[in-house]
Structures are given as structure tokens and as C-alpha cells.
A and B are shown apart, each in its own frame.
Chain A
């Protein structure tokens, strides 16, 4: 009995540590997404992974595999995300529509395609046990040591890139025309941003799933933005908020039976956002309400 509790503890520790690292990486990536005004890109990327995952399963089975190899499915997810990004670029150019419209088109059609493939797969023998649908809402509770390793690699690479390129990324997000005028390769920098987002989305598929990953990207970043007016403070703040959401959500879900971990993590992030919205030092609703009343009294 005691060994089962110890195992549970160890498992919870692994999940909490992975979720913390992923949350931190998502916080950083979310800041870039938010400040580059590409919030919907995260959503489009997330949804575009589904046909990739389903396609990878079909290819694997067709080649005699089990279709359950984690790396094959994640590679498929990456291909799907890449396909989504390319489609956005092509649609934006060809149809001359805004970024947002192109993303909405890709988001919907890729997810629709993925869902259709998934339905077909689940009707095939063995398809139902493949666990593909767990990618939609995540299955954080089943993360193991190898997932923790993957999460650490993603988190530390993202952090390293952001630290190394912080000056250029800030310039890119604030004024890309000026960045280009002084000779910065804006396309490559946007590529780095996209790479970071994709890595976080793929790594986050297991924890929170492809639908809720956008929430984990955007909530800590937006909350951090409310708390500070400085780029250099906003990024680490968002990373910490993401990490706290990861740990907090894991602990909450472990404290009660049948509470799904991914949604708990996102709910924790939403709670932090709500706190920031109310109590942030300068931009919080309460401070703004009271300061406008003070201003009113002075007049």
C-alpha cells in the first residue's frame, strides 16, 4: 500500500515538473505571440496538429507499425503544424485576406479534416485503443520520465533562444518595419518565433491537448502584461505564472479523483489571469476604478 502511495507521489512529481516546464515555456512563447499580435496563430497551429497526428497513425499502421509510437505521432503533429503555417502563408498571399482570416480558415479546415480522419480511425480495429483522441484534451496524468525530459529540452531551448535574441525579438515585435530598415532579417526572426511556438504546442499536446494549448499560451502572457509595462519583466513574469499554473493545476487535479489535469492547469492559469485583471498594480480593474474616482473627486 505504501509503495503505491510512493509511486503516486513520484508520478505526481513527474507530472508537476513537466507541467511547470511546459507552463513556463508557454508563458514565454505566449508573450511573443501576444506582442507580435499573432494570438490566433497559436490556435491555428494547435488545431492543425490533429490531421498530422491522425495521418501519422495511418502511415505507421500502413507500414506495419502499431501506430502508438509517441514520437511518430508527435512528428505527425509537427508536420500538421508546419502544413498549417504554410497554408496560412499561401492563403494570405493568394486570397489577399488578413492574417486573422487566413488563420481562421486554416484552423477550421485542418481541425475538420483531423476530426474526420479520427472518426475513420476509430472505426478500424485497434483504432479505438490508439488513444489519439487524448491529444485533443491532453492526458497529463500519464506523463512519464521521458516526457519530463522532452519538456525540459523544449523549455530550456525556448528560454535560451529568447534570452539570446531578446533585443531583436523586442524590436521585431514593436516595429518590424524599422527592424527591416536597419537590416535585421525579419523573416528569419519570425521563423524563430514560429519555431518556439510550434515546439511549445507540440510539447504541450500531451499536457493540455491541442484545444487548450492556446489558453496556456495566452493566459500567463496577458496576465503578465497587466502586471508590468516592461518587456524585460513581462517575459519572466509570464514564465513564472505559467510554471505556477502547471504545478497548481497538477496538485489540484491530484487532490481529487477524476479531475482531469490539463483543464485544471488551464483553469489555474485563468484564475491567475483573473487575479491580475482585478489586482494588477497599475492596470488592474480595482486600481483603475479607484484612481478614476480620485480623479473625479479632484475635479
Chain B
């Protein structure tokens, strides 16, 4: 194990750090203390419960002392500037990157025991869309978690995958090579693959990134249907304008959790300012837009 990471407020960190904007990270402020005091003890009923999670890269923290209890049956947005550790948070939950300290529980148990309950949508750019597979074949990969090593996907998996493709409106594109699909369709293929996982809690890394407005509406409709079925969806999101509309609950993240809670009470101007640090012009612009949206 590496040496203990230094706190993010240390201004003399090493310059190879993978994150940017750490210098703007909130210092030991009371907002963080508040979010911890707001009740982040482990809960067996929470779909995803994170306790004192720190993830560091070369001793420089990407996530620092994160405490979260995600409420069930909700659509949760993870919001923060570039390099705030949003993707890292998801990857840590999925065991894709080593954590420095802390505990992550899925319905009260470690992820390794609960894989079947967790679905994952990686960033669209993380794979090569020129890969020689069809949309249906990608979606069928969602059923592999339940399939043994040497079991071939059969009729049941195929039917399941077709259903998932249908749910995202891509039934007609099932046999297209994935490279022939538009960006929005590719994103929906990933969503369908997650649906085929038949999970209870979903972690989605920027599912709305660079998709057209129609696709965005189609995706949010699917997420709402999933919530209606009792599932929980955690979404890394960039757009502050739509965040209020989409999410029941938000996590404002910038290496630390600045605030977490119901969207209406959590996404305040002050909290956003803390989350986005020194980027005031951008932030004020966003705040104005939000105010406008509220008035309109």
C-alpha cells in the first residue's frame, strides 16, 4: 500500500497530479462538516453507502473523505467541475481502481458480493466503437455477469437483450455494427446493456455527454421508468441547467463532498460556488441561468 495521501488543501502537492482545480478545492470548511453531520452513517437499506472514502493517485487525493448514503428509488446526480473526482467515485464503487481508505457498501454488503445488483454505464469514449460487434451483441454483454465462463449466451439472454434494446428505442438497429450508429444511439446501446444487467442500482458515467436533445429526453425517460420500478440511478452529470429537472437528489463534489441532499435544498448558489471554486464567471453565468429557469 502507498503512503498515506496528503490532504487536498496542501498547496505544495506534486505537479503530476491527474486532477486540476485542486487548488480551488474548498478548505476545511463548515459545509463539509455539515454534510457529514447530516447523517452519513452506514445504512443497510441504502443502495450505495460510502464511508470515509479516500482515493489517491501518487499520494495526491482525487477523492477525500467522502461520506454518502444514496437514497433508494431515486435519480441522483453527481455534479462538480472537471477533475472533481466524479468518474473516480463511480470507478471506486465498482472496484475498478484501488481505494486508499474507506468503505463502500451496496445494500449493506461489499461490492464483490453484490455485483449482480449493480449496473454500469461507462463513458462512451472509453471504448472503440469501430469494434466488430453489433448493437445486440454489446447489449448481450450485460447478461454475462449472470452467465458462467463457458456458457454461451442463449435464447433467454438474446430475448432479454432485445427487450432492453426495445426499451431504449433501438430495436430496429439491433444488427447494425456499433460504428454505424450515431453518438446518441451508441449511448443508448450502453444504457440498454445496463438494463440487460437487471440490476437494482446503476452507476452511469456521463450518459448525457454529447447527445442530441431527443436522445437526452429518451434517456431521462428510461431513467424515470427505472426509478418507477424501484431502482436507483446515480448519474455523473455536467449540465447545471438540467440538473434541477432531472435529479431527485444531488451530490456536489469537488474532491470532497461539498453538499449532498435533495436537489431543491442542496443546489444553492452558495453551494455551487463552493463546488466550482474560483471559476466564478462560469458559475455566475450558470447561477443566472438557473434563476432564469426558475422564474420562467
Q: Which residues of A contact B (CB under 8 A)?
A: 35, 37, 96, 164-165, 167-168, 170-171, 173-175, 177-178, 180-184, 225, 228-231, 233-234
Collect the chain A residues with CB atoms within 8 Å of residue B261's CB: none
Specify which chain B residues have a CB less than 8 angstroms from the CB of A167 in the assembled complex. Answer: 144, 147, 152-153
| Nearest B residue (CB) for A170 | B133
**Which among B112, B128, B144, B197 is the interface contact of A171 at CB below 8 angstroms?**
B144
B132 in the interface, Cβ–Cβ < 8 Å? yes
For A177, list chain B residues within 8 Å (CB). 91, 96, 120, 122, 126
Cβ–Cβ contact A175 & B132, under 8 A: no
Q: Is the CB of B150 within 8 A of A164?
A: yes
Is A173 a contact of B131 with CB atoms below 8 Å?
yes
Residue from A164, A175, A183 within 8 A of B122 (CB atoms): A175
List the B side residues contacting A233 at CB < 8 Å: 132
Nearest 3 CB-CB pairings of A with B: A182-B145, A229-B177, A181-B94
The B126-181 residues at the A interface (CB cut-off 8 A) are 126-128, 131-134, 137-138, 141, 144-145, 147, 149-150, 152-153, 177, 179
Q: Is the CB of B120 within 8 A of A228?
A: no
Q: How far is the CA of A37 from the CA of B131 in the complex (A)?
A: 11
Name, among B95, B112, B149, the residue most crowded by chain A CB atoms within 10 Å (CB to CB). B149
Whether A231 and B94, one on each chain, are in contact in the complex, defined by CB atoms closer than 8 angstroms, is no
19 extra interface residue pairs, beta carbon distance < 8 Å, beyond A167-B153, A177-B126, A181-B96: A164-B150, A165-B149, A167-B147, A175-B127, A177-B120, A177-B122, A180-B95, A180-B96, A181-B94, A181-B115, A182-B120, A182-B145, A228-B132, A229-B132, A229-B179, A230-B133, A231-B131, A231-B137, A234-B132
Number of residues from B at the complex interface, CB < 8 A: 31
Decide: A230 and B132 in contact? CB cutoff 8 A: yes
Nearest CB on B from A70, distance (A): 35
Which residues of B line the A interface, CB within 8 A?
Answer: 16, 91, 94-96, 112, 115, 118, 120, 122, 126-128, 131-134, 137-138, 141, 144-145, 147, 149-150, 152-153, 177, 179, 193, 197
Q: How far is the CA of A168 from the CA of B122 in the complex (A)?
A: 18
Q: Once the chains bind, are A182 and B133 in contact (CB under 8 Å)?
A: no
B141 touches A174 (CB 8 A): yes
The docked-state distance in angstroms from the alpha carbon of A178 to that of B134 is 17
Residue of A nearest to B149 (CB): A168
Contacts of B94 in A (CB 8 A): 180-181
Least Cβ–Cβ distance between A186 and chain B, in angstroms: 10
- CB proximity of B185 to chain A, nearest CB, Å: 16
Q: For the complex, give the distance between the alpha carbons of A37 and B193 in Å.
A: 23
Q: Does B152 lie within 8 Å of A182, measured CB to CB?
A: no
CB-defined contacts of A165 to chain B, threshold 8 Å: 149
CA of A35 to CA of B130, assembled, Å: 10
User: Which of A96, A181, A234 has a CB less than 8 Å from the CB of B95?
Assistant: A181
In the complex, which residues of chain B have a beta carbon less than 8 angstroms from the beta carbon of A230? 132-134, 177
Query: With a CB–CB cut-off of 8 A, which chain B residues contact A183?
Result: 112, 115, 145
Q: In the complex the two chains form, is B115's CB within 8 Å of A182's CB? A: yes
What are 16 A-B residue pairs whose CB atoms fall within 8 Å in the complex? A164-B150, A167-B144, A170-B137, A174-B128, A175-B122, A175-B126, A177-B122, A178-B141, A178-B193, A180-B94, A182-B120, A182-B144, A182-B145, A182-B197, A183-B115, A183-B145
User: Could you say which residues of chain A place their CB within 8 Å of the CB of B138?
Assistant: 174
- Least distance between A199 CB and chain B CB atoms (Å): 21
Contacts of A170 in B (CB 8 A): 133, 137
